[in-house]
Amino acid sequence: MANLDRMIESARRALVEVLQLRPTDRVLVVQDPQCQKCSDAFYQAALAEGCATTAYSLPASGRPLKSMPSDMAASVEGHDVVINVMSGSSDEVPFRIEWLTLLEERALRVGHSPNIREDMMEDGPMDVDYGLMADRADRLIDALDEAVSVRITTPLGTDVTLDLRGRRFITDVKITETERGVNLPCGEIYCAPVEDGAEGVLVVDGPIGGEGAPPSPVILGIETGRVTSVRCDTPRWQERITELLDTDAGARTIGELGIGLNPNARLVGVMLEDEKAYRTAHIAFGSNIGIPGGVNESTTHIDYLVHRPTIVALFEEETARTVVSDGEIRV
């Protein structure tokens, strides 16, 4: 059984160190019956910091949610910080995008935790050295600052080039005045690559957002920023990924590149934790409206994770720099 006191302490550290929680903040915790103990820990942590704290409960029935419940928008009124503790089904991505868009419009500080589990808070990726992750994030962002593209390769055959011109990396390890929404647990840098500037092959040997880990690699062919082919030796997985990519017109378009930084994140089949794992990278297809520069609209956003990436940054003067080699940060 999870230790609630340890969960509360992990939540408190994340709220203070990542979301910069202050006693004067008014906190809203969005609760989900599927994650009740985790939401209780965040609620108690906010109270322990002296914050006025309220809760909004998502319904147990009528799931998956395709849109916000009618009374949900009103629940944010008068709050400074919102913690989303909710299930992470891929079928609820449209609802989560709608909700996060509203929170971004209100300029609230947001901790987003879809599919969080008790073990993540007790002794996993939230029991971490935030200073170490901030240092990793700063070094990588500095090294990639003026890159016009990156080439990503992996031992299993990934070879993808992404156009980064005009796009910048940010991190979820700490909020800023302009970037006010993060995942909890946190631990990545990410950007929105140019939507029509991705070419190559992505061999997905890690988990897929909302779906878990496939029994055999999923191979995605990418041309001018869009997935043009899907292959997998497991037919039901090939069919499911194709279904997700056909959700709407923007679902096949590249939305994100992320690089994991968290040394305590494990590969557990839950993308909230998986994508933060050190020595991994992930590419998402679908919406990137909430990422600086992103212009692709979709009701979905699905991450595809790869192990042991090598990432080479290319610059205007035709120089190249290896920033990650076989998963290890080299800057």
What CATH number should be reported for the domain holding residue 42? Answer: 3.40.1830.10
Helices 36-48 and 4-17, axial angle in degrees (round to 10): 60
As a whole number, mean pLDDT of residues 209-226 equals 95
**pLDDT higher than 90, residue 239:** yes
Helix (H) or strand (E) holding 98: helix 93-105
293: three-class secondary structure by DSSP? coil
Same domain (yes/no): 160, 64: no
Q: Are 110 and 140 contained in the same domain?
A: no
Beta bridge partners of 314: 149, 320
Is residue 221 predicted with pLDDT exceeding 90?
Answer: yes
Task: Read off the tokens for 32.
Answer: 């989900």
If asked whether residues 289 and 228 sit together in one domain, one would say yes
Average per-residue pLDDT in the chain? 95
> Which DSSP helix (H) or strand (E) runs through 313?
strand 310-314
Let me know whether 117 and 135 are in one domain: no
- The model's pLDDT over 5-14, given as tens digits with 9 standing for 90+, comes to 999 999 999 9
Residues 140, 12 within the same domain: no
Domain end: 100, 122, 144, which one?
A: 122
Choice among 131-145, 169-183, 248-262, 271-285 with the minimum mean pLDDT: 169-183
163, 147, 186: which is closest to 253 by C-alpha? 163
Position 65 scores a pLDDT of 92
* 295 and 158 share one domain: yes
Buried b (16+ CB within 10 A) or exposed e, 68-94: beeebeebbeebbbbbbbbbbbbebbb
Which residue carries 């939230």 as its tokens?
126
Whether residue 204 is found in the same domain as residue 318: yes
Question: Does 193 lie in the same domain as 96?
Answer: no
- Same domain? 175 vs 315: yes
pLDDT at residue 163 greater than cutoff 80: yes
| Residues 37 and 59 both lie in one domain | yes
Q: What pLDDT sits at residue 2?
A: 66
Residue after which a domain boundary falls, among 84, 102, 122: 122
Q: Are residues 240 and 311 in the same domain?
A: yes
> How many structural domains are present in the chain?
2
Domain ends where: 55, 89, 122?
122
Q: Give the span between the Cα atoms of 261 and 252, in whole angstroms.
A: 26
pLDDT value for 90: 78
Pairwise CA distance, residues 281 & 190, whole Å = 10
98 and 182 within one domain: no
pLDDT tens for residues 246-288?
A: 999 999 999 999 999 999 999 998 899 999 999 999 999 999 9
Give the Cα separation of 172 and 88 in Å (integer). Answer: 18
Task: Convert the pLDDT of each residue in 19-30 to its tens digit.
Answer: 999 999 999 999
Q: Give bridge partners of residue 202 from the DSSP assignment.
A: 220
The stretch 47-60 carries a mean pLDDT of 96
Please provide the size of the chain in residues.
331
Domain of residue 89, residue span: 4-122
How many alpha carbons lie under 13 Å from residue 71 in its C-beta half-sphere?
Answer: 6
Q: Is the pLDDT assigned to residue 1 strictly greater than 60?
A: no
The pLDDT assigned to 178 comes to: 79
In the predicted structure, residue 184 carries a pLDDT above the cut 90: yes
Cβ–Cβ < 8 Å for 286, 226: no
Q: For residue 218, what are the contacts with CB-CB under 8 A and spacing of at least 6?
A: 203, 204, 208, 230, 231, 232, 237, 238, 241, 304
In Å, what is the CA distance from 116 to each residue of 45, 112, 144, 305?
Answer: 16, 9, 30, 18
pLDDT score of 89 more than 90: no
d(CA 27, CA 17): 16
**Can you tell me the mean pLDDT for 88-94?**
82
